Amino acid sequence: MAFTPLFVESDMFGDVDDIGALALALELQARGRCRLLGIGINTPSVWGPRAAAVVIREFGADVPVGVLPGRATDDVFSPDYARLIGSQHTATDPFVEAPGLLADVLRTADVPVTVVSIGFFPNLLALLDLPGGVELVRAKVGRCLVMGGRFPEGDEFNISSFPAETAEFLARWPTAIDFVGFEAGADLLTGKHFSEQLGADDPVRVAYEAYAGVDAGRSSWDPLTVYLAAHADSELVSWSDPGELVMHGETGRWRADPAGRHRYAIVVAPAAEVEGILDELIVGHASRVVDLTP
């Protein structure tokens, strides 16, 4: 089975499902299903990239983390998980900037790369602004998935927080896009059994408990999106007919169009089945935790 090369753009800092998505991507990599070539963080707090680096280290993986260029804050979200686990980050090497990291990944890729956006779009727009950036994306991105929107119509955090930026991304991104909307992931809860499945110090469990409460679970927008990126033929979902997501102020509206290059996921499997598949991947690392004791 061929692995899928992935690059993930995440707003790790706010909602905890980005942690679940990263854990799931790393587990798929450990199983040979994908190769995580990098993760870009598109929120300015220093705690987002540090949290990502701590999770990657917990898995014994080596995945470069890129940051939002030009801005760095020490903001803490409430409820916080990013500083809670990110404060365990001890490396002193500076992070690279995410747009350049993704450009390097694309330039050196010898197979088409799947770009997965589970946050905002500033790093992807900055990539397009690089010299030759649009041509690079057109030549090297095989597939693009975006967690964003609400179908057929509505506001949603990733697209509505910075609507002008979203509209610019939709207008300029040169490849087809598969969307995973709010309605697809909202009722799928992952993390309902982490207190049994993960150790007390496991950063994935620590993050979910801090954000959502012990075994409360959290919606699975981002883990589902990464899963579908690595399983292009998954039968857990069907895909809409082609069309286009169009921004009207802060609201996204679906417009059917046989020539459109967008489509959105419709979950067709029972929720319990999808939750079980995602959870099993998110906690998979617990059975092969690397001993990092010096």
**CA–CA gap between residue 173 and residue 175 (Å, rounded):** 6
Residue whose CB is less far from Ca ion, 7 or 260: 7
Residue whose CB is less far from Ca ion, 119 or 181: 119
Per CB under 5 A, 11 contacts Ca ion: yes
Q: What are phi and psi of 247, to 5 degrees?
A: -85, 135
Residue whose CB is less far from Ca ion, 3 or 77: 77
Residue whose CB is less far from Ca ion, 12 or 167: 12
CB 179 within 8 A of CB 237: no
**Sequential DSSP letters for 89-155:** ----SPPEEHHHHHHHHHHH-SSPEEEEEES-SHHHHHHHHSTTHHHHHHHHEEEEEEE---SSEE-
Residue whose CB is less far from Ca ion, 40 or 119: 119
- Judged by CB under 5 A, the chain residues 259 through 288 that form the site for Ca ion are none
Closest to 116 measured CA to CA, from 171, 158, 163: 158
Q: Which stretch binds Ca ion (CB under 5 A): 12-20, 133-141, 203-211, 261-269?
A: 12-20
- Judged by CB under 5 A, the chain residues 69 through 108 that form the site for Ca ion are none
Q: Which stretch binds Ca ion (CB under 5 A): 8-16, 73-81, 135-143, 224-232?
A: 8-16
**CA–CA gap between residue 199 and residue 163 (Å, rounded):** 40
For the chain, strand residue ranges (E) read: 4-10, 34-41, 65-67, 96-97, 113-118, 141-147, 153-154, 177-180, 189-190, 218-219, 237-239, 243-248, 251-256, 262-267
Tell me the two tokens of residue 112: 């088409």
CB of 39 to Ca ion, least distance (A): 12
Question: Which residue among 53, 118, 124, 184 contacts Ca ion (CB under 5 A)?
Answer: 118
CB of 117 to Ca ion, least distance (A): 9
Q: Which stretch binds Ca ion (CB under 5 A): 48-56, 57-65, 114-122, 235-243?
A: 114-122
Per CB under 5 A, 119 contacts Ca ion: yes
Question: Which residue among 6, 9, 13, 18 contacts Ca ion (CB under 5 A)?
Answer: 18
CB 286 within 8 A of CB 275: no
**CA–CA gap between residue 122 and residue 142 (Å, rounded):** 20
CB of 135 to Ca ion, least distance (A): 28
Residues contacting Ca ion: total by CB under 5 A: 5
Residue whose CB is less far from Ca ion, 102 or 118: 118
Per-residue burial over 148-165, b if 16 or more Cβ lie within 10 Å, else e, is bbbbbebebbbbbebbeb
Residue whose CB is less far from Ca ion, 202 or 222: 222
Q: What are phi and psi of 63, to 5 degrees?
A: -125, 125
Q: Contact letters (x/-) for Ca ion, 209-248, by CB under 5 A?
A: -------------x--------------------------
Per CB under 5 A, 51 contacts Ca ion: no
Which residues would be at the binding site for Ca ion (CB under 5 A)?
11, 18, 118-119, 222
